[in-house]
Structure 1
Amino acid sequence: AHDEAGHTLLADRIREWLARGDRHITIRPVINLNDHCNGSEDTGHHGHQGPDPYVPTFLTAEKVRLRNPTCVFPHCTKKSRSCDLDHLTAHTRTGITCECNLAPLCRHHHQLKTHAGWRYQQLTPGTFLWREPHGQTMLVTPTGTSDLTDP
């Protein structure tokens, strides 16, 4: 644990503060963004077992939003904290609820993906290949959007 200045705190000191009751202590989990799903996409479950909920856990949602700070639709800059978490493979079609199958889409772009023929896939964590209904292809990375369609 660390104080506001970043100094390491000893467990005894933390216990002392907790016992006093006049301190506000916030505990935040450490989230490892390099810890990815390990399973095979061929199974449709990416190595996960058991029934799969539609709504992601706090940790899963937080990892997705930290990895993708904005909507992953081409050229969108809406902050991921206000976005829907979209299942790349629909949950009803064996799409699991894990970071490898979730991406933030603002409500408008989520509707385009769901109802207007836009399609995308995650190539690597944080990198998405988009295809619009008329064939244009775009690559969205953490640094921006590139048009891959031949002129």
Structure 2
Amino acid sequence: MKRLLAAAVLFLGLLGLAQAETDATLTRQVNAFVDEWHDDAANARMAYFDKIARDGIYIGTDRTELWGRDAFKTWAKKYFDRKAAWSFKATRRNVYASADKSLIWFDELLDTPNMGHCMASGVIRKTAKGFEIVHYQLSVAVPNEVVDQVTKTIRDHEKAAKK
């Protein structure tokens, strides 16, 4: 009986180790996929848009920036016609997944040369062909100490635009 109990404990322990390894493996795969996606933009490679699902959504920093993949591609064309579009480097990324690992979501802290620190979150669908981004939302990370100044600037800008 002790041997059976020991074998069961060992089996469950190995099963837990395999699960942890699978999660680490999935995280590495997701990190590589998202890093490559960001690199595609930094180098103005049209493969960037191929990584977004046909029904994917991209939300930018401006309140008017809510696009389906094809509309986003049309809007971004002027940036991708250059040698570089935009550059996002993740300094932190957290990856989460559904139990069956078919749906993955992440949040990331980004360094950008133009907007400074940004934050983003995304949803990835795992398909037979690989990963695809279903939803991505980018935001500028505003320090709490200056949020009043930023919101005042936005209000002033919106008032001026109405005139």
TM-score when normalising by structure 1:
0.30
TM-score when normalising by structure 2:
0.28
Larger Rg: 2
Instruction: Name the structure where strand makes up a greater proportion of residues.
Output: 2
Instruction: Name the structure where helix makes up a greater proportion of residues.
Output: 2
